Structures are given as C-alpha cells and as structure tokens.
Amino acid sequence: MDSGRGEVLETATGARLLTPRSATELVDAAVQLMRRHFRSLALLAALIAIPSLFLGIIARIVQPTAPAAAATPEAMAELASSVSLLGVLALASVCLASVGFGALVGSAANAYEHGRTMDPLAAVRLALRRALALIVGNMLASVLITAMLFVTLFGAATIMGLVLTGVALAGGGTLGTLSRTVGLAIGVATTVGAMLVALLFGARYALITASVVLERRGPLSAMGRSRELVRGNLRHTTAVVGIGIIFYIVTYVTALALSALLLRDMELASTASSVVVVVVYPFIGCLMTVLYFDLRIRREGYDVEQLTKALDDLPPVGGASDSSATAMSPHRVTGSAGVEGMSPDGAALTDRNRW
C-alpha cells in the first residue's frame, strides 16, 4: 500500500485510537484525548456545571437546622418545607448531571473519531434531545445499584448478628473482647464487600450514557446495551470505572482539604471544591468514551468494520470518481459511527447518514 492510501486510511478510521487497549492504556488514551481538546471540553464542562453549582449554593442556603426540643408547629412546617425543597433541588441536580454528562460524552466521541469536538452549544442541544432517556436510564441504574447494595448490607448484617450471637453464647452470654474484634472484622469486610458489589454492579451500567447519546437508544434499551457490551469484559470495565471513581474522589477530597485549610469555613470549602472538581469532568467523559469504543472493538470487531468502510471509501486506482467526491463532503461521517445524527462539526445529518 502506498503512502497516499495509508494516509487516507488513517484519516478515515482514526487508526491511532481504534485498537483494543488495557485499562491503563485506556486511561492514557483518555488523558491524551482530554489534553488535545481540553479548552473545548473544559468550556463545555463549565457550561453544564454552572446550573448545578447554583443549585448547590441554594441548597446550602435553605438547608434546615434541627428543631428545638419544644419545636412549634410552625417550625416543624418550615422544616418539612425546607426538606421538600432540598429533595427537589437534589432531583434537579441529578437530572442536570445526567444531561450534562451526555453532552460531554457526545463531544468527546466526536473528538475521538473525527479529531475535533462539537460546538459546546451543539453538544448541549444533542444531550437535551436525549434528556428523558438519559435521566430515566441513569436513575433506573442508580435504583438497581442501590437495591443491590441494600441487599448486600442486609445479608451481611444478618450474618454479623448470627456470628456475634454465637460468639456471645460461647462466652457465657456476654460480649467480650473477642466478640468486639469479630464484629469489627465483619464490619470492615462488609464495607469493603459492599463497595465492591456496588462497583461491579455499577460497571455493568457504565455505558448507559454513551448508548443513549451515540446510538439513540431509549433508557431500557441503553441499559441492556451497556450490559451486552460489558458482558465478558466485567473485570476490564470495573478496573476502568474504578480508576475514574478513585481519581474523582481523590481530586475532590484534596480540593476540599486545601479549601478548608485556606478558607477555614467548611461551607465555602465545599463550594470551592465543587468548582475545582469541574476540571475532572472532561477526563471522566473521555474515559467513558474510549471505554465504549474499546468494548465495541472487543465484542463487535468495530475496528475491522471501520477499516472495511475506509477501504470502500478509497477512490479507484487511476483517477477520482463520485465516491472520492462523496468522501470529501464536509457533512459525511466517513468510516465512523460518530455522534448520532450529527456531523463532526455538530451539524445535523440526514437520516441516511445516521447509524
């Protein structure tokens, strides 16, 4: 193959990116993708974070204080009203986070395959069109993960109770040092086990957002699609998701500690750390994007599919043809799944170009 054709294949397939990768290689790929497009992705992250930060500030203002022992009916009514408002604000924050992360994934996917992000406003519009599916899908997954976590903790608590009862009976009916030691060990094991269960179960639904935004799936279909892609690669997916969670937590805790040290006010420190952690959003979006394509390569041979499309797009030897003119069209998503219904620059595509 001559150099000209090799260049076309590289351009059409994004060959440097469309290869199976290990968990650490995916992290490196996400970092490189974020670095190349940090300005655009950071601008998008800031754009979608502002409403959530505003809601967080309102929540801290209306946060109720515990009523006095002799609380009046008026005080209790005010407390109930504040709690209800906090619930509404929390729900609104979850909805905004789901839609905002969808916009980030859509823009990162465009950058991953086409070398340039979508216009931030176009990315937001794309996510808003899929808002209901994004919100419902992620909420359903959260409910399932919470239920599984509850079942795990309930089972562990039952086992702990039985073990401690047995130890107490063996010791004459009193809880001694051995019982407390056993209880502590079981408690630690339960906490670690519950975290692992939540992580493993959550990894199965890590690609709901990508499935909704990039494949125009509904919430239930996206949940099934995520399970399908993760099947057979659960350990690999869990490692990638775990790295993302750890990175987010470490960044937030570090920012919170430094802010508390400098500002000496926990409420201000919490707000400041929420602002600082916005810079992590582009990395998480890029990480989930490269994971999505990596699993498609592993399960569906997506890299081979794109290579085949790239070969089909090559003009015949000896001259140009209509196919070469088509390949030069600025609104054709060449050899790529792309963002559903969008061209590389975020413009709407016709149904013929959608996948």
pLDDT in tens, 231-258: 999 999 999 999 999 999 999 899 888 8
More confident residue, 85 or 167: 85
Q: What is the mean pLDDT of residues 285-312?
A: 82
Does residue 349 carry a pLDDT above 80?
no
**Residue 152 banded pLDDT, cuts 50, 70, 90:** confident
Q: Which residue type, as a one-letter code, is found at position 51?
A: P
Q: What is the mean pLDDT of residues 206-222?
A: 94
- Residue 211: the pLDDT is 95
Does residue 22 carry a pLDDT above 60?
yes
What token pair was written down for 319? 């001259």
Q: Which domain holds residue 195?
A: 22-67+77-310+333-353
Does residue 77 carry a pLDDT above 60?
yes
* 321, part of any domain: no
Q: In the chain, what percentage of residues exceed pLDDT 90?
A: 34
More confident residue, 293 or 271: 293
More confident residue, 301 or 64: 301
* 171, part of any domain: yes
Q: Which of 98, 29, 96, 100 lies closest to 289 in space, CA to CA?
A: 29
CA separation for the pair 253, 257 (Å, rounded):
6
* 247, part of any domain: yes
Q: What is the mean pLDDT of residues 313-339?
A: 46
Tell me the angle at which helices 120-129 and 73-114 cross, rounded to the nearest 10 degrees.
Answer: 120
**Residue 265 banded pLDDT, cuts 50, 70, 90:** confident
How many structural domains comprise the chain? 1
Helix then strand count (H, E) for the chain reads 14, 0
Using only the alpha carbons of the chain, give its radius of gyration.
25
Is 318:2 a contact under the CB 8 Å cutoff? no
* 16, part of any domain: no
* 4, part of any domain: no
Q: What is the DSSP string of 105-166?
A: HHHHHHHHHHSSPPPHHHHHHHHHHTHHHHHHHHHHHHHHHHHHHHHHHHHHHHHHHHHHHH
CA separation for the pair 67, 95 (Å, rounded):
31
CA separation for the pair 48, 53 (Å, rounded):
9
- Residue 342, beta-bridge partner list: 348
CA separation for the pair 305, 314 (Å, rounded):
15
* 13, part of any domain: no
* 277, part of any domain: yes
CA angle 144, 150, 156 (to 5 degrees): 140
Comparing 121-130, 173-182, 265-274, 288-297, which segment has the lowest mean pLDDT?
Answer: 173-182
CA separation for the pair 348, 355 (Å, rounded):
13
Q: Which long-range contacts (CB under 8 A, 24 or more apart) does 245-250 make?
A: 245/199, 247/280, 247/283, 247/284, 248/277, 248/280, 248/284
